[in-house]
Structure 1
Amino acid sequence: MSLNFRVVLVEPLYQGNVGSVARAMKNFGFTDLAMVNPCPLEGEARAMSSHARDVLEGATITNRIEEAVAGANLLIGTTGITGSKFDEHIRIPAHVPRELKKHLEGYSGTIALLFGREDKGFTNDELRMMDMILTIPTSEIYPVMNMSHAVAVILYELSDVQAGETPFADPFDTKLLMEHITQVLDDIAYPAHKKEKTELMLKRIFGRARLIPREVQTLRGVLRRIQRNLDLNKKI
């Protein structure tokens, strides 16, 4: 059993950054690179990748984030902005790389590490896709990091994480769990204005909980019991 880390660059703007990311990946022993709608990858990207051209040339290129993260058990979005009044529920709680390493010790599966656009990062809708949010503590004087530097810092921390025999829940089963929760919230007439935040909060709780297959099935069993009791009460 092992942990595979997939670096996903979402619409990177500068091919020099892409090449530098490939180089940082190979520095720390990672090879799984995916890109969503990247900039043209030509001479500068190859030059900056140096002896990591194999990582660059072996990258998966997709048009959608969903395709780039296919098969990943956890989606971890990186951001330099940890929260604001209007979207605090989307960006927090944010973890730092050292915490993430401890969080993943002893597990097996595929972890997608997503990095947003150099100029504007992720959209809020993209951040809602993430199971966890990761940030690198930086100086308040100049908090914004270059993409390749951020990749290097995170992969350095994760380069010696110890995998184990405990598998993460299958991403398809986790998706079904979240859909089941949405059904139950509808069944109990949960307030519409609270629904989105509640679903996102539960998604982040599950991300931190590192759900395993049996736990997902147990949770779905509880949800089915709730729905059966709701149906019985309607008939009385």
Structure 2
Amino acid sequence: MSGDEGAGVDRDASVDSDSASAGDDGSEGSTRRKPVVVVVEPETPGNVGTIARAMKNFGLSDLKLVDPPELKEGGEAYGFAGHAREDVLPNAETVTFDEVVSNYHTVGTTAITGEDDRSHERFPFKTPVELRESLKTVDAPTAVVFGREGRGLNNEELSRLDEVCSIPAADDYPVLNLGQAATVLLYELRDLTVDETQLPDTAVTRAPEADLERFHEFFGDFLAVTGQREHVREKNALLMRRLLGRAHPTEREIHSLLGTFRKANAKLEHADHLAAKYDEPVYPRDG
């Protein structure tokens, strides 16, 4: 971690340099200046490590600390940081609150908000999702500022910051652990900070309509062979059509269902045939 000496450099120049090195492929994620994360007077090294890990998870790397505790290599902070111990945490910079305010568009975080405009320090506020949508429209050096574990940011500090963000939580216990709050907020900002995730493409290709219609025919036969009354069959057939209309099944899914109902219909028809042949009761039907 660099000391206060390094914090006195021209912050605007360093921000511009970070922006220029972000990438030039034209994608929003690679050219947008990513927010820096600031923690004011953290008390527990483990929370600093947790925040560093969350930053690594969601594509952020610039961690700034105001009056932090000692972060010993191999200590609690490094134990909580995961792979962020390799870069985010050791590169964290000690700064002053004044430097953050002077050089960044600032977003203060708080669990306790004002209910109306009589409390200007904590109102108006944005939820993390609202903050994400707001920041999408502005490309500026931005700092997301977290406060102390026990007290958070005080009113004087919040009054010097540009915006306020609060995570919606249960009214009877809205205060999150510092590391948890940072993880939730950075997760919601991921569209601004992460170009790709480990998740596969989730686009679904709907099965061909001809296959879907074949399924509806099989399902209609199934309803008929189970002996349901006509008005009940019509209702259930419509419910199934609406259900599949919302579900957008894939070709593989609909083919699996086709096979299942084909076999079910064949077995039910065979049971009816045997019942008639041996004068046995047919498959139980509605009375």
Query: TM-score range, shorter-chain basis?
Result: 0.5 to 0.7
Which residues of 2 match residues 102-117 of structure 1 at below 5 A?
102-117=133-148
Amino acid across the alignment from 2:90: E
Which residues of 2 match residues 139-218 of structure 1 at below 5 A?
139-161=170-192
Amino acid across the alignment from 1:25: M
More strand by share: 1
Amino acid across the alignment from 1:107: V
1:143 Cα deviation after fit? 1.2
Number of residue pairs matched by the alignment: 161
State whether structure 2 residue 90 is matched by structure 1 residue 57: yes
CA contact (8 A) 1:8 1:69 kept: no
State whether structure 2 residue 56 is matched by structure 1 residue 4: no
Q: 1:12 to 1:87 in 2, by over 3 A?
A: farther
Pick the aligned partner of 2:163 from 132, 137, 141. Answer: 132
Q: List structure 1 segments (4+ residues) > 4 angstroms apart after TM superposition.
A: 84-87
Amino acid across the alignment from 2:50: S
1:65 Cα deviation after fit? 0.6
Q: Give the distance between the partners of 2:90 and 2:100, measured in 1 at CA.
A: 16
2:70 corresponds to: 40
Pick the aligned partner of 1:16 from 46, 57, 75. Answer: 46
1:71 Cα deviation after fit? 2.7
Q: Give the distance between the partners of 1:129 and 1:98, measured in 2 at CA.
A: 23
Q: Give the distance between the partners of 1:36 and 1:136, measured in 2 at CA.
A: 22
Q: 1:87 to 1:41 in 2, by over 3 A?
A: farther
Post-superposition CA distance 1:197-233 (Å, at most 9, x none): xxxxxxxxxxxxxxxxxxxxxxxxxxxxxxxxxxxxx
1:68 Cα deviation after fit? 3.7
Q: Give the distance between the partners of 2:193 and 2:77, measured in 1 at CA.
A: 32
Runs of 5+ in structure 1 lacking a partner? 164-236
Post-superposition CA distance 1:8-56 (Å, at most 9, x none): 0000000000001000110111101000001111201111112111101
* 3-state SS of paired residue (1:112): strand
Post-superposition CA distance 1:169-188 (Å, at most 9, x none): xxxxxxxxxxxxxxxxxxxx
* 3-state SS of paired residue (1:107): coil
* 3-state SS of paired residue (2:161): coil
TM-score (structure 1 length as normaliser): 0.64
1:78 Cα deviation after fit? 0.1
Amino acid across the alignment from 1:38: P
Aligned-CA RMSD value:
2.1
1:198 corresponds to: none
Q: Give the distance between the partners of 2:193 and 2:147, measured in 1 at CA.
A: 27
CA contact (8 A) 2:42 2:149 kept: yes
* 3-state SS of paired residue (1:57): coil
1:83 Cα deviation after fit? 1.8
1:106 Cα deviation after fit? 3.5
TM-score (structure 2 length as normaliser): 0.53
State whether structure 2 residue 114 is matched by structure 1 residue 83: yes
Q: Give the distance between the partners of 2:127 and 2:161, measured in 1 at CA.
A: 15
1:162 Cα deviation after fit? 8.2
Give 1 or 2 for the bigger CA radius of gyration: 2
Runs of 5+ in structure 2 lacking a partner? 1-30, 195-287
Higher relative contact order (CA 8 A, sep 6+): 1
Amino acid across the alignment from 1:149: Q
Post-superposition CA distance 1:95-114 (Å, at most 9, x none): 10100111111431211000
Sequence identity, in percent? 43
Q: 1:86 to 1:148 in 2, by over 3 A?
A: same
Q: Give the distance between the partners of 2:188 and 2:116, measured in 1 at CA.
A: 30
1:179 corresponds to: none
